Amino acid sequence: MKKLKKLLACTIVLFLTSTCAFATDDAVKQKVEAYAHPTMFGSQAQETASADSTYIIGGKMYKSKNQLGVKNKDQVLVDSWVKDIMSLIKDQQPFANGQVFNPKMPVLRSELAVILAEGFNLNNKSVSKTYGDISSKYWAKDWIYGATNAGVMIGYPDNKFRPDQPVTKAEVFATIAQLIQVPIDRSLIVPTFKDKEIKYIPKWAITPTKEVVASNLLEQVPDPCKVNNDEYLSKEQVAYLIGALRQDWAFKNSIQKDGNAPDCIKNYMPTALTIKLADRLSARQSNVGDKFSAKTTKDVVVAGNCFKAGSLVKGEVIEVVRPGIKNPGYIKVKFTELKDGDNTIEFPKNISQAQADMIKNPNFVARLFGSPFSTAGRIVGVVGRSGGSIVNVAGNGLEQFGDNLSNVFVDTMSLEPVAGVKNVGNSAVTVGKGIYNIGKVIVSGVFGIVYEVTDEVRYLIVPSYSNASSLNPGEELTIVF
The pLDDT of 46-57, averaged and rounded, is: 53
Listed residue (451, 476, 49) closest to 284, CA to CA = 451
H or E stretch covering 432: helix 417-461
Average pLDDT value for residue range 375-388? 77
Query: pTM of whole model > 0.75?
Result: no
8 Å CB contact between 262 and 147: no
Which candidate, 63, 25, 66, 379, places its Cα nearest to that of 239?
A: 66
Identify the band that residue 285 occupies on the pLDDT scale cut at 50, 70 and 90.
confident
* Least confident stretch, 148-157, 170-179, 317-326: 317-326
pLDDT reading at 163 higher than 90 = yes
Which residues does residue 339 pair with via DSSP β-bridges, in sequence order?
Answer: 312, 344
289 vs 75, higher pLDDT: 289
Please give the angle made by the CA atoms of 77, 83 and 88, to the nearest 5 degrees: 155
What integer is the mean pLDDT of 14-34?
Answer: 43
Return the axis-axis angle of helices 109-119 and 169-177, rounded to nearest 10°: 30
Q: Is the pLDDT of residue 24 over 60?
A: no
CA 4 → CA 8, 11, 13, 360, distances in Å? 6, 11, 14, 63
Tens digit of each residue's pLDDT (9 = 90 or more) over 286-325: 888 899 999 999 898 887 788 999 999 999 988 888 776 6
Among 99-108, 126-135, 182-191, 246-255, name the one with the lowest average pLDDT: 246-255
Residue 218 pLDDT level (bands cut at 50, 70, 90): very high
* Residue closest to 146 by CA, chosen among 108, 184, 114: 114
133: Cβ–Cβ under 8 A, 6 or more apart, which residues?
160, 161, 162, 163
Element housing 55 (H / E): strand 53-57
**What type of residue is 460?**
L
What b-and-e string marks burial along 300-321, b requiring 16 or more CB atoms within 10 Å of the CB?
A: bebeeeebeeebbbbbbbbbbb
Q: Please tell me the distance from the alpha carbon of residue 410 to that of residue 415, in angstroms, as a whole number.
A: 9
Which ranges constitute the DSSP H helices of 100-195? 109-119, 141-150, 169-177
pLDDT of residue 121: 87
Give the pLDDT confidence score for residue 20 in this predicted structure: 39
Greatest mean pLDDT range, 12-21, 266-275, 303-312, 375-384: 303-312
What is the C-alpha radius of gyration for the chain, rounded to an integer number of angstroms? 28
Q: How many alpha carbons lie under 13 Å from residue 342 in its C-beta half-sphere?
A: 0
Q: Is the peptide bond before 208 cis (omega within 30 degrees of 0)?
A: no
Residue 270 — very low, low, confident or very high, per pLDDT cuts 50/70/90?
A: confident
Of residues 25 and 143, more confidently modeled = 143
CA–CA separation, 265 and 259 (whole Å): 10
What local confidence, expressed as pLDDT, does residue 412 receive?
77
Grade residue 16 by pLDDT with cuts at 50, 70 and 90.
very low
pLDDT of residue 373: 78
Rounded to whole angstroms, how far apart are CA atoms 268 and 260?
14
pLDDT score for 356: 73
Domain spans of the chain, in order of start: 82-266, 364-468
Most confident range (mean pLDDT) of 18-32, 54-68, 215-229, 343-357 is: 215-229
Question: Residue range 391-415: average pLDDT?
Answer: 78
Query: Of 27-36, 87-96, 371-380, 454-463, which has the strongest mean pLDDT?
Result: 87-96
Instruction: Please indicate whether residue 109 or residue 469 has the higher confidence score (pLDDT).
Output: 109
Most confident of 67-76, 222-231, 390-399: 222-231
Q: What is the mean pLDDT of residues 67-76?
A: 74
Confidence class of residue 352 from pLDDT cuts 50, 70 and 90?
Answer: low
Predicted pLDDT of residue 47: 55
**How far is the CA of 398 from the CAs of 274, 351, 440, in angstroms?**
57, 50, 18
Averaged confidence pLDDT in the chain: 79
User: Which residue, among 52, 50, 45, 47, has the nearest Cα to 30 in the 3D structure?
Assistant: 52
What is the mean predicted confidence (pLDDT) over 66-85?
77
Distances (CA, A) of 37 to 41, 77, 328: 10, 22, 13
- pLDDT, residue 38, reads 45
> Closest Cα partner for 351 from 252, 236, 246?
246
